[in-house]
Structure 1
Amino acid sequence: MARLNLKAIEERIKPLAGREAYDKQFIFDLLLAYGRSKSSITRLRTGSLNVAEHPETEVAQKNIVYFRYTQGDLLAELEELRLSPLVTKFTPRFVIVSDYVQLIAYDTKTAENRTFNLREIDQHFTFFLPWAGMEKAQYTAESHADVKAAEKMGKLFDELASANPGLLDNPDNRHGLNVFFTRLLFCYFAEDTGIFTQNQFTNAVGSHTLEDGSDTAEFIRDLFAALDEADPARKPAHLADFPYVNGRLFRTDSALTVPRFSAKAREMLIELGRQIWLDINPDIFGSMFQAIVTPGKRSNLGQHYTSVPNILKTIEPLFLDGLREEFENAYDNPKKLEALLVRIGRIKVFDPACGSGNFLVIAYKELRRLEHSILQRQAELEGTVKLFDKSRINIENFFGIEIDDFAVEVAILSLWIAKHQMNQELKKLFGVEIPLIPLKETGHIHAGNATRIDWNDVCPNNGTDEIYLIGNPPYVGSSMQTAEQKEDFVHVFNATKYPKKLDYIALWFIKGADYITDSAAELAFVSTNSITQGEQVGMLWPSIFAHGVHIHFAHTSFKWENNAKGAAGVTVVVVGLSTSTNTERFIFNEDLKNAVNHINGYLTDAPDVFIASPSKPLAKQLPPMTYGSKSTDGGGLSFDVHEKEQFVTSWPDGAPFIKKYMGAQEFIKGIDRFCLWITDESVADAKQVKGIVQRLKIVERMRLESKKLATQERARTPYRFAEARYKPTDSIIVPSVSSERREYIPMGFLGPDTVISNLAFAVYDAEPWLFGLLTSRMHMVWTRAVAGQLGTSLRYSNTIVYNNFPVRELTDTEKQELTQKALRILDVREYHCEKTPAQLYDPDLMPDNLREAHWGVDKFVDSLYSDRGFETDEDRLSTLFAMYERMTAAEDAAQPKKRTRKKKS
Structure 2
Amino acid sequence: MAGLSLKAIEERVAPLAGREMYNREFIFDLLLAYGKPQGNVTRLRNGSLNVAVDPSTEVAQKNVVYFKEANGDPLEALEELKTTPAVVRFSTRFVIATDYVDLIAHDTNTNETIGFPIREIDQHFTFFLPWAGMEKAQYVAESHADVKAAERMGKLFDELLNANPGIFDDVQGRHSLNIFFTRLLFCFFAEDTGIFEDNQFTNAVGSQTQPDGSDLAEFLTELFKALDTADPADKPTHLAGFPYVNGRLFTVTDEQVVPRFTKQARDELIASGKLIWRDINPDIFGSMFQAIVTPGKRSDLGQHYTSVPNILKTIEPLFLDELKEELNQSQGSERRLVRLLDRIATIKVFDPACGSGNFLVIAYKELRKLEHAILERLAELSPSHQVLWADSKISIENFYGIEIDDFAVEVAILSLWIAKHQMNREFREKFKVDIPLIPLKATGQIKAGNATRVDWNEVCPNDGETEIYLIGNPPYKGASEQTAEMKADFLPVFGSSAYPKNLDYIALWFIKGARYISSTQAELAFVTTNSVAQGQHVELMFPGIFALGLEIGYAYTSFKWENNAKYNAGVTVAVISLRNRSAQPKYIFTDGLQIEATNINGYLADGTDVIATRRTKPLNTQLPPMLFGSKPADGGNLILSSSDRESLITASPVSTVYIKRYTGADDFINGRDRYCLWIEPRDADEVRSIPTIADRVKRTAATRSESKKLATQQLANVAFQFAEVRYKPTDAIIVPRVSSERRSYIPIGYLEPGWVINDQAFAVYDAEPWLFALLTSRMHMAWTRAVGGQLETRLRYSNTIVYNNFPVPPLSETTKEKLTIAALRVLDVREYHCEQTLAELYDPDKMPRDLRDAHAEIDALVDSIYSKKPYESDEQRLSDLFELYERMTAEEAASAPAKKTRRTAK
TM-score range relative to shorter protein: over 0.9
Q: Structure 2: how far apart are the matches of 1:614 and 1:290? A: 47
Moved more, 269-278 or 774-783: 774-783
Mean CA deviation greater in 84-93 or 217-226: 84-93
Per-residue deviation at 1:157?
0.6
Q: Which moved more, 1:18-27 or 1:632-641?
A: 18-27
Give the corresponding residue for 1:753: 754
How high is the TM-score relative to the length of structure 2?
0.96
Question: Which residue of 1 is the match for residue 661 of structure 2?
Answer: 660
**What is the Cα deviation at residue 890 of structure 1?**
2.8
Equivalent AA in structure 2 for residue 157 of structure 1:
F
Equivalent positions of 1:587-606 (< 5 A) are 587-606=588-607
SS at match of 1:299: helix
Q: What is the CA-CA distance between 1:691 and the residue it aligns to?
A: 2.2
For the pair 1:529 / 2:550, whether they are aligned, the reply is: no
**Deviation at residue 123 of structure 1 after TM alignment:** 4.8
SS in 1 for 2:555: strand
Against the structure 1 CA distance between its residues 334 and 838, is the aligned structure 2 distance closer, same or farther, given a 3 Å change threshold?
Answer: same
- What residue is the counterpart of 2:325 in the other structure? 325
- In structure 2, runs of 5+ residues without a counterpart are none
Aligned to 1:875: 876
Shift of 1:131: 2.3
The alpha carbon displacement at 1:617 in A equals 1.7
- Asked whether 1:723 is paired with 2:724, we answer yes
Contact 2:2 2:872 in 1 (8 A): no
Match of 1:87, SS? Answer: helix
Partner of 2:540: 539
1:123 and 1:85 mapped to 2: Cα distance?
Answer: 31
1:48 equivalenced with 2:44 (yes/no): no
- The Cα shift of 1:30 comes to 3.8
In the alignment, which residue of structure 2 is the partner of 1:221?
A: 221
Q: Is the 8 A contact 1:776 1:861 kept in 2?
A: yes
Normalising by the residue count of structure 1, what TM-score does the alignment of the two structures yield? 0.96
Report Cα offsets for 1:137-191 as digits up to 9, x if no partner: 2333211211100100111111111111123421111111111111100000000
Q: In the superposition, relative to structure 1, how do residues 162 and 496 fare at CA in structure 2: closer, same or farther (>3 Å)?
A: farther
Judged with a 3 Å threshold, the aligned counterparts in structure 2 of structure 1 residues 496 and 685 are, in CA distance, closer, same or farther, namely farther
1:187-202 matched pairs, under 5 angstroms = 187-202=187-202
The answer to whether the 8 Å contact 1:559/1:571 transfers is: yes
Q: Is the 8 A contact 1:102 1:115 kept in 2?
A: yes
Q: 1:349 to 1:254 in 2, by over 3 A?
A: farther
Name the structure 2 match of 1:506: 507
Aligned match of 2:556: 555
**2-structure distance, mates of 1:647, 1:673:** 14
Q: What residue is the counterpart of 2:134 in the other structure?
A: 134
Shift of 1:867: 4.4
Please tell me whether the aligned partners of residues 140 and 563 of structure 1 are also in contact (alpha carbons under 8 angstroms). Answer: no
Report what 1:91 is aligned to: 91
Match of 1:780 in 2: 781
Instruction: Report the Cα distance in structure 2 between the residues aligned to 1:398 and 1:239, rounded to whole angstroms.
Output: 34
Q: CA deviation at 1:632?
A: 2.3
Aligned to 2:649: 648
2:653 and 2:153 map into 1 onto residues whose CA distance is: 70
- CA distances 1:429-463 after superposition (whole Å, capped 9, x unpaired): 11110000011112210111111111100000001
Say whether the 8 Å CA contact 1:139–1:563 is kept in structure 2.
no
For residue 110 of structure 1, report the CA deviation from its aligned partner.
1.9
Aligned to 1:230: 230
**Do residues 301 (structure 1) and 322 (structure 2) align?**
no
Match of 2:495 in 1: 494
Q: Which residue of 2 aligns with 1:337?
A: 337
Written as runs of structure 1 = structure 2, the 5 A alignment for 1:687-766 is 687-766=688-767
Q: Does 1:830 align with 2:831?
A: yes
- What is the CA deviation profile of residues 692-750 of structure 1, one whole-angstrom value per residue up to 9, with x for unaligned ones? 23333443343344333333333333322122211111111011112223222221111
Deviations 1:584-605 (A, max 9, x none): 2111112311222111111111
Question: Residues 381-425 of structure 1: CA distance to partner in whole angstroms, max 9, x if unpaired?
Answer: 114551332101111100001111111111111111111111111
- Call closer, same or farther: CA 1:757–1:390 in 2, change over 3 Å: same
Distance 1:138 1:691, change over 3 A: farther
State the AA in 2 paired with 1:590.
Answer: D
Letter in structure 2 aligned against 1:549:
L
Match of 1:366 in 2: 366
Counterpart of 2:210 in structure 1 is 210
The separation in 1 between residues aligned to 2:114 and 2:566, in whole angstroms, is 23
CA distance in 2, matches of 1:129, 1:380: 34
- The equivalent of 2:477 in structure 1 is 476
Distance 1:666 1:35 in 2: 46
> 1:425 is aligned with what amino acid?
E
Contact 1:477 1:504 in 2 (8 A): yes
Deviation at 1:614, TM superposition (A): 1.3
Query: Which residue identity does 1:252 align to in structure 2?
Result: V
Checking the alignment, whether the CA contact within 8 Å between 2:473 and 2:528 is kept in structure 1 is: yes
Mapped to 2, the partners of 1:119 and 1:254 lie a distance apart of 69
> What is the one-letter code of the residue matched to 1:137?
A
Distance 2:231 2:352 in 1: 38
Structure 2 distance, partners of 1:610, 1:367, is 38
**Alignment partner of 2:605: what SS?**
coil
Contact 1:175/1:255 (CA < 8 Å) preserved in 2? no
For the residues of structure 1 that align with 2:255 and 2:413, how far apart are their CA atoms? 16
| DSSP-derived class of the 1:681 partner | helix
Shift of 1:24: 3.8
2:166 pairs with 1:179? no
Cα deviation, residue 49, structure 1: 3.2
Partner AA of 1:503 in structure 2: D
Contact 1:502-1:540 within 8 A present in 2 as well: yes
Per-residue CA deviations over 1:860-882 (Å, capped at 9, x if unaligned) read: 33333344554543332222212
Instruction: Determine if the alignment matches structure 1 residue 150 to structure 2 residue 170.
Output: no
SS of 1:167's partner is coil
Q: In the alignment, does 2:119 pair up with 1:110?
A: no
Amino acid at match of 2:749: G
Shift of 1:804: 0.9
Segment of structure 1 superposing worse, 365-374 or 619-628:
619-628
Shift in CA distance, 843/861, structure 1 to aligned 2, threshold 3 Å? same
Cα distance in 2 between the residues matched to 1:442 and 1:469: 20
Tell me by how many angstroms 1:32 deviates.
4.1
Contact 2:513 2:524 in 1 (8 A): yes
State the alpha-carbon separation in 1 of the partners of residues 283 and 184 from structure 2.
18
2:252 corresponds to? 252
Partner letter of residue 195 of structure 1?
A: I
| Mean CA deviation greater in 465-474 or 718-727 | 718-727
Partner of 1:268: 268
Change beyond 3 A, Cα 1:121–1:650: farther
Q: Secondary structure at the match of 1:169?
A: coil
Distance 1:26 1:900, change over 3 A: closer
* TM-superposed deviation, 1:122: 4.8
Deviates more, 1:522-531 or 1:57-66: 57-66
**Deviation sequence 1:781-817 (CA, Å, 0-9, x none):** 2112111012322111101101111223333343333
- Which residue of the partner structure matches residue 291 of structure 2? 291
After superposition, the CA RMSD in angstroms is: 2.2
> Equivalent residue of 1:386, what SS?
helix
CA 1:254 to 1:828, structure 2 compared with 1: closer, same or farther past 3 Å?
farther
Q: How does 1:15-34 map to 2 (within 5 A)?
A: 23-34=23-34
- Whole-Å separation in 2 of the counterparts to 1:122 and 1:296: 49
Decide whether the 8 Å contact of 1:229 with 1:244 is kept in 2.
Answer: yes
The residue that corresponds to 1:354 in the other structure is 354
Q: Partners in 2 of 1:295 and 1:469 — Cα distance?
A: 29
8 Å CA contact retained: 1:630, 1:757: yes
> Against the structure 1 CA distance between its residues 215 and 21, is the aligned structure 2 distance closer, same or farther, given a 3 Å change threshold?
farther
- The number of residue pairs the alignment matches comes to 905
Structure 1, 89-98 or 512-521: larger mean CA deviation = 89-98
Q: Specify the alignment match of 2:241 in structure 1.
A: 241
Q: 1:306–1:76: structure 2 CA closer, same or farther, 3 Å change rule? A: farther
Q: Which amino acid aligns with 2:618?
A: P
Tell me how far 1:626 sits from its aligned partner. Answer: 1.2
Shift of 1:331: 0.4
Distance in 2 of aligned mates of 1:2 and 1:53 = 34
C-alpha separation in 2, matches of 1:902 and 1:13? 70
Q: Which moved more, 1:321-330 or 1:22-31?
A: 22-31
Q: Which amino acid aligns with 2:338?
A: E
* Other structure's SS at 2:723 match: coil
- Whether the 8 Å CA contact 1:350–1:400 is kept in 2: the answer is yes
Farther-moved stretch of structure 1 (289-298 vs 31-40)? 31-40
